[in-house]
Amino acid sequence: MKQTWRWFGPDDSVLLSHVRQAGATGVVTALHHLNDGRAWPEDEIAKRKAEIEAAGLVWSVVESVIVHEDVKTRSGRHRELIDNYKTSIRNLARAGIKTICYNFMAITDWTRTDLDYRMWHGGTALRFDIVDFCAYDVLVLKRAGAEAEHPPEHIEAAKVRLAAMSVSDLARLEANLIGWVPAREFIFDRESFRRALDVYREIAVEDFRQNLFAFLREIVPVAQEEGVRMAIHPDDPPFPIFGLPRVVKDADDAAALLAAVPSPSNGLTLCTGSYGANPRNDLPAMARRFASDIHFAHLRNVTKEADGSFHEAEHLEGDTDMVAVVDALLAEERRRKAEGRADWEIPMRPDHGHAIVDDIGKQVNPGYSCIGRLKGLAELRGIMRTLETLRA
């Protein structure tokens, strides 16, 4: 697999030189300073590509060309914004960048309650605590209808948890849930978040799914014409939060999406962490079932708890059999290569990582510290090399 690395651009504390030292050859990035729904100009794409190539690397995957909220709700400027999206696809293709990862999560991007969860080894990880989330959703945000969506035992536990929180604890929880996500084009406070949620109160899950399919029916033909492969990222976490619709949370959702707009340009990002937080998902089985439609892979692991909480485990630990997933992806690469495809390699990146060693206490994008991802990539590379050697 093509070993790649998420990079947040010139302001990222992890440098392109660090990416090379980690052993990756490809970069996964976006024009974050233009990620507000406008079309990406060719000159800006060329500038970012040249910067990456000057470091001896290749811009392998775009993550992400943002899907604006108006597109998700089919409201406001959605027609203009879809046209902008098509232009961005065409301009990226002209620059030779042919894989685009994107998501269709309403309002939120990936969501965690704790960005510094202390692990047994002394480093920190990302965690979603269902009781903390319930405390915020029901007792702090006081979202209309929230109480009916949480089991009584979670609400009772949340009352105890909230009573024990300091002012700074609560401020940190709120910032984690609604105020901060890397590469997002907007930041909420409590009132603006409530207003954003109100927009979705009248949008049912199936209506939202049809909005996604309508978007795909517009952009996939452009992507196919340009030789671009669109790779949708699953919802994270892969279950409803804040009463918002979730339509890319499991194997059934993935199958429905692929069937709605059949095309080699309509495919998946296999994120083993996001899909892996849903107990219904068997990741090795999904890797085998959807192999031909997997255009990109995020490889990370999670440990799930009985109440729905989870934390991000080390890459080879947790609940997902990472060896079996990698084996399935390597088998798909062999199949593509035998077909004579020039693009037979599946780009992968070590998704998220623990803050360990010298990265502890540094200002980094949570989940995207250097050393934890370097460790994860090295472990994944070891799996790949071992499986390739055993097959030789």
C-beta separation of 230 from 85 below 8 A: no
Question: Would you call 298 a catalytic residue per the annotation?
Answer: yes
List the Cα angle 350/356/362 in 5-degree steps: 100
Question: Would you call 352 a catalytic residue per the annotation?
Answer: yes
What tokens appear for 270 in the block?
């296999």
Of 78, 298, 311, 315, which is the active-site residue?
A: 298
Q: How far apart are CA 96 and CA 342, in angstroms?
A: 13
Of 233, 295, 311, 315, which is the active-site residue?
A: 233
DSSP letter assigned to residue 370: H
C-beta separation of 103 from 95 below 8 A: no
Q: How far apart are CA 373 and CA 370, in angstroms?
A: 6
C-beta separation of 112 from 237 below 8 A: no
Q: How far apart are CA 184 and CA 69, in angstroms?
A: 12
Question: Would you call 315 a catalytic residue per the annotation?
Answer: no
Of 129, 271, 327, 359, which is the active-site residue?
A: 271
Of 311, 315, 352, 354, which is the active-site residue?
A: 352
Q: How far apart are CA 182 and CA 235, in angstroms?
A: 16
Question: Would you call 33 a catalytic residue per the annotation?
Answer: no
CA dihedral over 97, 326, 108, 231, signed as positive or negative: positive
Of 101, 351, 354, 359, which is the active-site residue?
A: 351
What residues are annotated to the active site? 233, 271, 298, 351-352, 368
